[in-house]
């Protein structure tokens, strides 16, 4: 604000408001007295309106005028008091505003100071030490402070008259930059003050004595940065351009560097050396070196020697041994230094190398003279003499770098410039100092053909690299602009340095370029390094092109599709697809018979979808939900077939035997035919593996003409698999039941839930509990899936479950299912299944469908007896397939390639592919793109089945069966052909069917009168079976005492009872009568018939209880060659239900008490002999012997 002084100064200004009236002439108040809120009152506020503070004085004044009114005087007094109170409040508010404004100004000033400091700290160009011109030092008595590092504005104004600005130009000084900032802040302060004090008085404006606005401290500011620095004649300022040249002019100036600088601080460089004329930033981590650098900058001596480490992995900031670095380095100037962010003792310094130097002597850290380490008494550095005009002219041919300001080190008298060492102050720091000598290039002929040729080659390589690498292009452009001659070929030495500086070569190669003083040799070495850089650029370009070529096709297709979409959108041919999506969902919903509740949810979701943006995340969630909602077959059912004859035909085609299961299924279908539906039924097939539980479910679906869907819950631990996920989760899906409805597209499919007895339980929940709702006929009419969140009717779905046993099925779940048990197949059934189903399928699978290869009935029986004893036929199927595979191999090996040539097995496409591959192999080249595409399209060579000659005949019989499947796995279930006393055959049930189980009992030691009885049990028996052995032992002792009282065997016998196959865990109560028989056989010394097998639980009183698995145990007894089987009488119904082919050759004898079992086992027992006690006989014999000896002694 030119010409206006701050009101705080109290000086007059050009105020537009009227002058205040003196207090000696009070103004007469009008009546009635205006209120403070009256606009007239507001208009007079702060102007000439004044009121006496004393109401009596005001009263006297009005009385003197002759129109005194007491009431008016009282009103005036009240108004005056109110006005005084308001004035005090306004004064306090203004005071607070001034304090706040001062605080803001101080904060702004601090921010400006920090900004100025950061600007000065980040300046990349240091100040030079040499004097500017002789005119500046014409007056030897003019000095400045010894600690001033920069020239000031005061010195600039003092030297202005001496023609200082006619010489070299320097950048803006530190004081000038700070003055500019102060001036800007002062102007902002004035503007704010004027805005705040718009209602206060302002003195009239006028020009000050110096013609410039003063700063708050009373000093004039050197307005260097704007046009607001007016002069005494109110002329506009020069904007700080006086004494400064443009950026381009300053860039063409070279800093004045001392020619001779014998001793400098040495800084080692890692990885790559520095080259003259090219900046390099380094990081100093040694705090001593960092402190020394800051001291050097402070003293105006920012010069160091930079030498390359010989070891690439070295990481130090000092040189301890001259052998650690190369002796050729550069004399560099520290243009700027600033601390590393986040590290206190680290420093980043920017170096500008000036010339090559050679290391003469190293003064490692700690080797300085301690006497000279005191720098407090050091003299001030003597300024370096200014260069002559010839020197300055010679410097104009140097590198192009930004100019440096000179320091403000004052000229000292000649007497003070006694033997001064510029780097003597560094002796107090543990840094490495070196004595160096300058290295000059060897003279060369600029017109040398070799130099010109190498120069042209370097330029050509630069062009090639620049065409591949944009970074090189920018560096080359900068280097070309920096040449003073404008021609890069006129200075081959610098061109070689530039080539090495921008190349990523090995450190040793780059150091050789730096060490070469012969220009021709240096250029040739630089060319080698640059050639390697060109090879790297070509390789990088090749890799880039290869990658671009791979993705170009996909990018091109993407852009074309996007353009096509845009064109269609502009033509109105296609919208964003949301409208079509809504219409599609509505059309699908119109075809479905959705319940009312589901239709309401559908309408709500479709309206939401219509108002959502396609890019919204909720859009995809709603779209997926509507898709699932319209995929469920609401009201769509398949026509069912309740024909009994059709069902019998289907079941007989798919399965052999299983008469009881087929009858139960036919009953189920007959009930459905009478009712018209089979709703509310959940079947569960329980049986050993391989008996056809899963295939029966599929046959039922085929017989009823229902869609079939199967999923297994074995090991399932996540409830979401049954009831689905919440829609809030990413990737949520409905449960498996809803997925089954979507796949089958009917409301009445047959869903088979496999392995329901192996369902798991985890932290995600209990899936068996989720099945309760699914399999309950009273609840599944409105099944609620978590994802669908609408009731789904599953009452028309027929659920069939399979399990190997019912022990692990939860009781509530088992209660909801109708269990149908499937027993294992007997040998006759296995043989029939092998003949009808397994052998033909295996023969066709082995490629022997039309070949004369047959598997005899004896071989099948041998397979069933000696290789496959499980209840199912799964293992039998594997063995039959193995037989036919072995047969195919033998046929191919016997006939050879002449009868079955490989070429005849190929189709036309296969032959073409084979010929193409042979051509590629012959060429020995990489496959072309067309060949690769052909290989991708033809995943495998097409082939045809070869016809086996009619002369081939293969018959697999019992004799040669072991050549195909190896030796028998099972020899016989009968361990004993003749059983000794104490051995009895029992029967066991396993998941693979039934098996024979022997019980063995022996006497551990001979019977003596001194023996103690006992029972030891082995054979990997579990708790229930151990209890059965104890019960059998107690019952046997009681039975012997009752039936054979004179036999005291158990009173002195120590018995060991064992069950063979100790690796197999055994448990169950059905071996009770077998254990008791084994113990009684040992006690009576009478063997058991080996053709007799038994099973049944025994109580302490001798009662024989019911057992399970009679069918499997009967099959096992028949397989072991038994003629009689003893079982509980309670199982007589199970025995009668057994097919005659299973009972053929076996006599079944039921028993209710063990006495009946004893009579069947020992029919011809000599009771008199059994009632005799061996211990008693031994005692009687001993007494007779003793009596005889006494008689002989008496004689």
Task: Characterize 830-851 residue by residue with b for buried, 16 or more Cβ atoms within 10 angstroms of its Cβ, and e for exposed.
Answer: bbebbeebbbeebbeebbbeeb
| Contact call for residues 1048 and 1176 (beta carbons, < 8 A) | yes
Task: Characterize 997-1009 residue by residue with b for buried, 16 or more Cβ atoms within 10 angstroms of its Cβ, and e for exposed.
Answer: bbbbbbbeeebee
Distance CA 546, CA 552 (A): 10
Residue whose C-alpha is closest to residue 839's, from 829, 817, 823, 854 = 854
Structure tokens at 925: 């080249």
Residue whose C-alpha is closest to residue 225's, from 194, 185, 279 = 185
- Distances, alpha carbon 495 to alpha carbons 462, 479, 484, 530, 821, in Å: 11, 9, 13, 11, 97
Residue whose C-alpha is closest to residue 1057's, from 1073, 1033, 1085, 1039 = 1033
Q: How many CB atoms lie within 10 A of CB 741?
A: 24
Distance CA 902, CA 918 (A): 15
Q: Tell me the torsion sign for CA atoms 1132, 1138, 1141, 1142.
A: negative
Q: How many CB atoms lie within 10 A of CB 563?
A: 10
- Distances, alpha carbon 25 to alpha carbons 43, 49, 52, 61, 200, in Å: 20, 11, 11, 11, 22
Residue 1130: DSSP 8-state: G
Structure tokens at 86: 């308001």
Residue whose C-alpha is closest to residue 798's, from 686, 958, 638, 657 = 638
Q: Which of 193, 482, 1070, 1081 is catalytic?
A: 1070
Residues near 176 by Cβ (< 8 Å), separated by ≥ 6?
152, 153, 156, 222, 224, 240
Q: Which of 1113, 1152, 1155, 1179 is catalytic?
A: 1113
Task: Characterize 483-505 residue by residue with b for buried, 16 or more Cβ atoms within 10 angstroms of its Cβ, and e for exposed.
Answer: beeeebeebbbbbbbbbbbbbeb
1020: left (phi over 0), alpha (psi -120 to 50) or beta: left
| Contact call for residues 974 and 1090 (beta carbons, < 8 A) | yes
Distance CA 805, CA 1106 (A): 19
Which residue do the tokens 């800084």 mark?
Answer: 267
Distance CA 120, CA 336 (A): 9
Residue 23: DSSP 8-state: T
Element (H, E) at 777: none
- In this structure, what are the phi and psi dihedrals at residue 991, rounded to the nearest 5 degrees? -70, -25
- Distances, alpha carbon 182 to alpha carbons 150, 187, 220, in Å: 18, 9, 10
| Contact call for residues 916 and 935 (beta carbons, < 8 A) | no
* Count of CA atoms in the C-beta half-sphere (13 A) of 582: 17
Q: Is 1113 a catalytic residue?
A: yes
- Distances, alpha carbon 554 to alpha carbons 544, 558, 560, 934, in Å: 16, 6, 10, 20
Q: Is 699 a catalytic residue?
A: no
- In this structure, what are the phi and psi dihedrals at residue 1126, rounded to the nearest 5 degrees? -105, 130
Residue 636: DSSP 8-state: -
Residue whose C-alpha is closest to residue 751's, from 711, 693, 691 = 711
Residue whose C-alpha is closest to residue 432's, from 612, 566, 547, 286 = 286
Q: Which residues are catalytic?
A: 1070, 1113
């Amino acid at each position: 604000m030119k010409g206006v002084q701050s009101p705080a100064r109290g000086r007059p200004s050009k105020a537009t408001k009227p002058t205040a009236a003196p207090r000696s002439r009070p103004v007469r108040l009008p009546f009635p007295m205006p209120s403070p809120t009256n606009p007239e009152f507001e208009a007079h506020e702060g102007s000439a309106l004044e009121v006496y503070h004393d109401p009596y004085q005001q009263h006297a004044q009005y009385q003197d005028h002759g129109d005194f009114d007491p009431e008016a005087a009282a009103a005036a007094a009240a108004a005056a008091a109110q006005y005084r109170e308001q004035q005090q409040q306004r004064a306090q508010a203004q005071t607070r505003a001034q304090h706040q404004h001062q605080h803001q100004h101080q904060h702004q000033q601090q921010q400006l100071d920090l900004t100025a400091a950061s600007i000065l700290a980040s300046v990349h160009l240091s100040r030079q030490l040499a004097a500017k011109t002789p005119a500046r030092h014409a007056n030897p008595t003019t000095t400045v402070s010894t600690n001033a590092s920069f020239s000031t504005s005061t010195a600039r104004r003092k030297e202005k008259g001496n023609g200082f600005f006619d010489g070299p130009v320097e950048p803006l000084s530190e004081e000038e930059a700070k003055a500019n900032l102060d001036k800007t802040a002062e102007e902002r302060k004035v503007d704010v003050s004027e805005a705040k004090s718009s209602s206060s008085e302002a003195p009239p404006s006028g020009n000050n004595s110096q013609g410039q606005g003063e700063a708050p401290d009373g000093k004039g500011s050197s307005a260097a940065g704007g046009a607001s620095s007016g002069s005494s004649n109110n002329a506009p300022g020069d904007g700080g351009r006086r004494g400064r040249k443009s950026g381009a002019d300053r860039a063409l100036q070279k800093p004045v560097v001392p020619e001779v600088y014998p001793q400098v601080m040495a800084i080692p460089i890692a990885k790559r050396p520095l080259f003259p004329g090219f900046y390099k930033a380094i990081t100093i981590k040694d705090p001593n070196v960092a402190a020394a650098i800051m001291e050097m900058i402070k003293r105006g001596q920012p010069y160091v020697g930079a030498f390359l480490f010989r070891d690439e992995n070295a990481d130090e900031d000092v040189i301890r041994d001259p052998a650690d670095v190369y002796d050729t380095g550069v004399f560099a100037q520290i243009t700027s230094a600033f601390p590393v962010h986040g590290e206190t003792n680290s420093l980043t310094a920017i170096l500008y190398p000036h010339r090559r130097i050679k290391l003469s002597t190293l003064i490692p850290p700690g080797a300085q003279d301690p006497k000279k380490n005191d720098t407090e008494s050091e003299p001030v550095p003597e300024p370096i003499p200014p260069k002559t005009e010839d020197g300055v002219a010679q410097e104009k041919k140097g590198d192009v770098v930004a100019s440096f300001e000179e320091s403000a080190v004052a000229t000292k008298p000649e007497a003070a410039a006694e033997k001064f060492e510029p780097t003597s102050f560094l002796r107090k720091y543990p840094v490495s100092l070196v004595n160096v000598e300058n290295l000059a290039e060897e003279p060369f002929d600029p017109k040398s053909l070799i130099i010109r040729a190498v120069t042209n080659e370097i330029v050509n390589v630069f062009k090639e690299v620049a065409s591949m690498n944009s970074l090189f292009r920018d560096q080359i452009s900068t280097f070309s602009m920096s040449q003073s001659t404008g021609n890069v070929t006129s200075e081959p030495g610098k061109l070689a340095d530039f080539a090495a500086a921008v190349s990523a070569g090995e450190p040793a190669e780059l150091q050789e370029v730096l060490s070469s003083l012969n220009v021709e040799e240096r250029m040739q070495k630089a060319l080698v390094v640059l050639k390697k850089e060109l090879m790297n650029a070509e390789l990088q370009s090749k890799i880039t092109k290869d990658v671009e070529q791979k993705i170009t096709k996909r990018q091109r297709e993407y852009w074309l599709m996007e353009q096509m979409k845009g064109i269609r959108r502009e033509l109105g041919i296609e919208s964003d697809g949301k409208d079509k999506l809504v219409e599609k969902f509505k059309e699908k919903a119109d075809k479905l018979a959705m319940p009312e509740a589901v239709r309401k949810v559908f309408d709500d979701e479709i309206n939401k979808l219509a108002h959502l943006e396609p890019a919204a995340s909720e859009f995809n969630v709603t779209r997926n939900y509507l898709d699932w909602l319209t995929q469920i077959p609401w009201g769509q059912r398949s026509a069912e077939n309740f024909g009994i004859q059709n069902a019998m035909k289907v079941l007989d085609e798919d399965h052999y035997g299983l008469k009881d299961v087929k009858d139960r299924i036919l009953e189920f279908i007959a009930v459905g035919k009478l009712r018209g539906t089979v709703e509310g039924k959940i079947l569960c097939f329980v049986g050993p593996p391989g008996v056809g539980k899963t295939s029966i479910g599929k046959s039922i679906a085929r017989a009823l003409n229902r869609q079939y869907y199967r999923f297994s819950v074995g090991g399932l631990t996540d409830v979401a698999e049954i009831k689905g996920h919440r829609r809030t989760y990413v990737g949520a899906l409905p449960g498996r039941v809803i997925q089954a409805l979507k796949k089958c597209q009917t409301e009445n499919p047959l869903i088979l839930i496999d392995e329901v007895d192996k369902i798991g339980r985890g932290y995600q929940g209990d899936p068996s509990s989720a099945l309760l709702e699914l399999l309950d006929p009273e609840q599944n009419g409105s099944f609620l899936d978590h994802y669908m969140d609408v009731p789904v009717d599953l009452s028309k779905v027929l659920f069939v479950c399979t399990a190997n046993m019912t022990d692990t099925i939860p009781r509530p779940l088992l209660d909801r299912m109708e269990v149908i048990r499937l027993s294992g197949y007997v040998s006759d059934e296995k043989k029939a299944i092998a003949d009808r189903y397994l052998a033909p399928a295996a023969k066709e699978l082995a490629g022997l469908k039309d070949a004369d290869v047959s598997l005899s009935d004896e071989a099948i029986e041998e397979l069933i007896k000696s290789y496959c004893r499980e209840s199912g036929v799964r293992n039998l199927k594997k063995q039959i397939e193995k037989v036919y595979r072995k047969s195919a191999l033998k046929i191919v090996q016997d006939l050879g390639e002449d009868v079955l040539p490989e070429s005849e097995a190929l189709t036309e496409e296969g032959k073409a592919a084979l010929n193409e591959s042979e051509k590629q192999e012959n060429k020995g080249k990489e496959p072309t793109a067309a060949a690769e595409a052909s290989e991708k399209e033809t995943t495998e060579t097409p082939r045809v089945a070869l016809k086996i000659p009619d002369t081939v005949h293969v018959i697999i019989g019992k004799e040669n069966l072991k050549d195909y499947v190896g030796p028998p796995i099972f020899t016989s279930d009968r361990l004993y052909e003749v059983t000794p006393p104490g051995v009895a055959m029992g029967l066991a049930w396993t998941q693979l069917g039934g098996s024979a189980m022997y019980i063995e009992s022996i006497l551990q030691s001979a019977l003596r009168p001194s023996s103690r009885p006992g029972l030891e049990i082995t054979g990997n028996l579990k708790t229930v079976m151990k209890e059965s052995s104890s019960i059998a032992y107690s019952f046997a002792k009681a039975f012997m005492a009752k039936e054979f009282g004179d036999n005291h065997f158990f009173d002195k016998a120590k018995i060991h009872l064992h069950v063979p196959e100790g690796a197999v865990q055994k448990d169950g109560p059905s071996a009770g009568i077998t254990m008791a028989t084994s113990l009684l056989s040992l006690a009576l010394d009478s063997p058991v018939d080996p053709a007799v097998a038994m099973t049944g639980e025994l109580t302490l009183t001798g009662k024989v209880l019911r057992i399970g698995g009679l069918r499997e145990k009967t099959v096992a007894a028949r397989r072991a060659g038994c003629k009689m089987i003893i079982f509980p009488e309670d199982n007589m119904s199970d025995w009668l239900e057994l097919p005659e082919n299973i009972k053929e050759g076996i006599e079944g004898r039921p028993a209710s008490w063990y006495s009946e079992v004893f009579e069947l086992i020992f029919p011809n027992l000599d009771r008199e002999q059994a009632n005799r006690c061996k211990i008693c006989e031994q005692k009687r014999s001993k007494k007779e012997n003793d009596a005889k000896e006494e008689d002989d002694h008496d004689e």
